[in-house]
Chain A
Amino acid sequence: MTIINSLRTQPDERGHFGQFGGRYVAETLMPLILDLDREYRAAKQDPAFKAEFDYLLKQYVGRPSPLYFAERLTEELGGAKVYLKREELNHTGAHKINNCIGQILLARRMGKTRIIAETGAGQHGVATATVAALFGLPCTIFMGAVDVARQQPNVFRMKLLGAEVRAVESGAKTLKDAMNEALRDWVANVHDTFYIIGTVAGPHPYPELVRDFQTVIGNEAREQILEAEGRLPDMLIAPVGGGSNAIGLFHPFLDDPEIEIVGVEAAGEGLDTAKHAASLAGGSPGVLHGNRTYLLQDEDGQITEAHSISAGLDYPGIGPEHAWLHDIGRVRYEPVTDAEALASFQRLCKLEGIIPALESAHALAAAERIVPGMDRDKIVIVNLSGRGDKDIFTVADALGVKL
């Protein structure tokens, strides 16, 4: 069947999703990202590339990840059946590794001999350090000095995996500054360095290629729900920082208009405060980190600090495809606060014996809000994007528990 008005054919060849996306980079990087674009097109057409990607996802990452019927959570909520896509069972404990496998294969294909990446809480940094170790390539991870101080276990993991962790002292010393510094390093080392961006942001073709590597989530979920229920789900829910796990789940379902899709933004201490990370609900379109998208910014276009209890959602922008899906109304984006996410974090631990990442807990909180109002014969898939072991110190602190 040919779908005339498919929502799955974005971006255009210049990397635009409607008015969003694009390639807003300094001239030094332009030839390089044009080169990356060409190489990616070629890799996509190459069966050997896909075969190696699939092999590593299966044998190294441990895919497919299960689609698990959360029976006790479903009973508790008293509405639609809730399935959890168990991305937290992947090697390194989150969806991040899917993308890293794809990008390191691309790096090797392009003959690059050095890997760099940015990281916030350290999850993408750990995933990148992991694949760099797997392929024997030197790796430098840029991490805001503030994040280095508060995420010591992940800093140590990265070092164990052989990566150099460079603490970024510029700006606010968090994720966006780590990304600025990674871009600066890339500009200065374009000849041998590949930049593994961790989410569906940055200049084209990154939002597209990261999405493509992450759609394994949605493709599996589609097959798995058909096997389990004999039909497609009624709703998908996933947390959105930059939005790579969410777009990975959503994309294969975008052309099924009867399926409701919900992305969950971090509302931090509330949208009526200055401390949140909801760039769609509380931001406006602008240009940052190579693409045009919704940003948290002031009236002069200065970027403002994001806040979320979940470090993975603590970013003042959002992937351009999400900005577009928001504008055309295909995906509904809902805010969830720190407090709501904390409650859902604990509930899943007790009801299902699963410690979710705080990012994923945001999606669970949205599910708890929506699912009770749905009929019992409806089906909802929630993306459990990562495991919460990394978050136990943050959660203990928020609950006033001393470890």
Chain B
Amino acid sequence: MSAPLVSMRGLGRTFVSRKGLFGAHRSMRAVDDVTLDIPAGKVTGVVGESGCGKSTLARLALRLIEASSGSVTFDGTDIGSLEPAAMRQIRRRMQMVFQDPYSSLDPRYSIADCLLEPFAIQGLMPPARQRAAQVDDLLDMVGLARSVASSFPHQLSGGQKQRVGIARALALKPQFLVLDEPTASLDVSIQAQIIELLERFRDDFGLTYLFISHDLGLVRYFCDQIVVMYLGRIVEVMDRPDATPRHPYSRALLNSTFAPDPAKRRVVTPMAGEIPSPFALPPGCAFAARCPQASALCKAERPTLAESTAGGRIACHHPQD
């Protein structure tokens, strides 16, 4: 695989909360010891259920929140140690598309204002007479009519709003785009449109994506490298999208996607047990309580993420073949 554009080393983030007004402080590691290289020009997918830490990882990758431990290196620069001015400078090259296009666009801004905001923030605002052309270019790029420029977010459909979100992220011609479930709130027909658009930008501009999703079927289609997370930790990394998952949790995720073919109906084996509380993780493998393969070893000792014989990495005492 190509050289990494972004490298995470032992990255972690702990959140502290308090149970009730006078309760004791308790902490959870939303992201724990994540080491990952994101190759340039490729799509790295992160999958897992709600609460697995994938959105926190997305925010750490751009330093939208501070890491509690570990580091993120972007194109050779450790972004954790940058002063605010230098951070703002480098942020031009890394952008994010948010999950919810309804809440990520300011309802009082016209679409044109919204698309010009990144330029204003970076002090790169084009002269007044060039602004309309700049907005038109961005709208053309994402396949929206130019007349949309004077509209407000509430006048657009969910799919159109997400296109605006993508146009805004691309405005400053970044190299690295973090996509945090960009299609989760959209119809499948619109989801496919958005993926088509993202594929085009990857090919045309050589963009690098970190794509967050809970849909392993979609990730296997769109991504070059797949990272499976469970309760804050990486449990498996597959360096080919068509690799057969070896971790029982990755397999369960794959078993949950339905093919559009009635001949391929599956019997879903429900995962026994509940997801443990992230405030009180068990000493062993966090997935052991729900895992059909769990042994005494799994409950006692946490498996480390090690090279897998099939390529990629896996954290499991009993990988499947």
The finding on whether chains A and B are genuine partners in a shared complex, rather than unrelated, reads no
Residues of A within 8 A of B (CB): none
Residues of B within 8 A of A (CB): none
